[in-house]
Amino acid sequence: MDLIELKSEWTVYGVGIIQQSNVVREMAKLGVLDGYLDAAFAFEDVAIYGPAGQQLARIPGQRLAGPQYPANVGISRLALHKVLSETALELGANVRLGLSVESLEDQGDQVEVLFTDDSRGRYDLVVGADGLFSKVRQLVFGDTYTPRFTGQAVWRYNFPRDPQIDHLANYQSAAGNAGLVPLAGNLMYMFLTSHEPSNPWMAPATMAEQMRERL
C-alpha cells in the first residue's frame, strides 16, 4: 500500500476534533482507539445552552463501540495524527511525501496512477482523501461536483479546560453559536461560527481581534 501526501512534512493542521459515537465505534473496529484514549478526553453528553448560559437541552450519548468505550471523544488533531501515522507505518504502508496524483487510468480490474514526480503505480483501489479541492475527485468526475462557499466560517482556539466542561457545550443565540469541547484533562477548545458572505481574506495577525469581535 502506498500513502501519498502532498506536504513534504507529515504533520497536521488544526486545533482539535470531536469523534462522535459512530466514529468511536469505527476506530474501535480498526483497533486504533485504545492507542489514543489516554491522550483524549472521553465524554458522554452534548448540552445546548442559551446565550445567558441556561441549559436548554442535554442529549445523552450512545456507547456504540460497546460499554467499555465512551460515547464521544475529544482529541487534539496532533495526538490523533501521531497514532494514525504510527499505525500506518507499523502495518507496512509505504509513505511518500511531497507529491500528488497527476492522472488516473481505470483499467477495469486495476487503476494506473501517474504521480507528479513522473513515477507510476498500479492499484486495486485508489482512495482520494485530498481535501476540499480534491484532485482525485476532479480526475474522476470533472467539474460535476465542485465546492461552493456557503458563507459560514468557523473559528477555533485552544486554552486550559475548565472542570465544568466535561461534555460538549454548545451555546446558541439568534446571532450565531459557539461552543466548548474538552480535548484532554487540561485542554479544551472554543469554536465559534460566523457569517462571512464575502469570503474575506484575513491577515493572521488580526485573527484574535476578529474572533473577539464576533464573540
Q: What is the pLDDT of residue 144?
A: 94
Neighbours of 1 (CB within 10 A): 12
Give the Cα-Cα-Cα angle 142, 128, 83 (nearest 5 degrees). 160
Q: What is the pLDDT of residue 4?
A: 95
Please write the tens of the pLDDT for every residue from 32-55. 999 999 999 999 999 999 988 999
Boundaries of every domain in the chain: 2-40+64-141
Q: Which three cell numbers mark 148? A: 461552493
Q: CATH classification of 2-40+64-141, choosing from 3.50.50.60, 2.60.40.4070, 3.40.47.10, 3.40.50.880?
A: 3.50.50.60
Please write the tens of the pLDDT for every residue from 101-146. 999 999 999 999 999 999 999 999 999 999 999 999 999 999 999 9
Asked if 34 and 24 touch (Cβ cutoff 8 Å), the reply is: no
Percentage of the chain exceeding pLDDT 70: 100
Q: What is the mean pLDDT of the chain?
A: 94
Q: Give residues with Cβ within 8 angstroms of 154, minimum separation 6.
A: 191, 192, 193
Dihedral sign (CA 186, 26, 178, 213): positive
Backbone angles phi, psi at 85, to 5 degrees: -70, -40
Q: Give residues with Cβ within 8 angstroms of 202, minimum separation 6.
A: 210
Q: What is the pLDDT of residue 66?
A: 96
Question: Which amino acid appears at position 46 of this protein?
Answer: V
Q: What is the pLDDT of residue 51?
A: 87
- Residue 47: closest CA among 152, 159, 180: 180
Q: What is the pLDDT of residue 176?
A: 83
Q: What is the pLDDT of residue 15?
A: 86
Q: What is the pLDDT of residue 55?
A: 96
Q: What is the pLDDT of residue 61?
A: 94
Q: What predicted TM-score, i.e. pTM, was given to this entire model?
A: 0.84
**Residue 12: pLDDT over 90:** no
Q: What is the pLDDT of residue 25?
A: 97
Cα separation of 108 and 123, whole Å?
11
Cα separation of 48 and 199, whole Å?
28
Q: What is the pLDDT of residue 13?
A: 83
Q: Which three cell numbers mark 197? A: 458572505
**Residue 172: pLDDT over 90:** yes
**Residue 14: pLDDT over 90:** no
Cα separation of 31 and 42, whole Å?
17
- pLDDT-derived band at 174 (thresholds 50, 70, 90) equals confident
Please write the tens of the pLDDT for every residue from 90-102. 999 999 999 999 9
Backbone angles phi, psi at 97, to 5 degrees: -105, 155
Q: With the CA atoms of 38, 186, 59 and 171 taken in that order, what torsion angle do they form, in degrees rounded to the nearest 10?
A: -150
Asked if 197 and 149 touch (Cβ cutoff 8 Å), the reply is: no
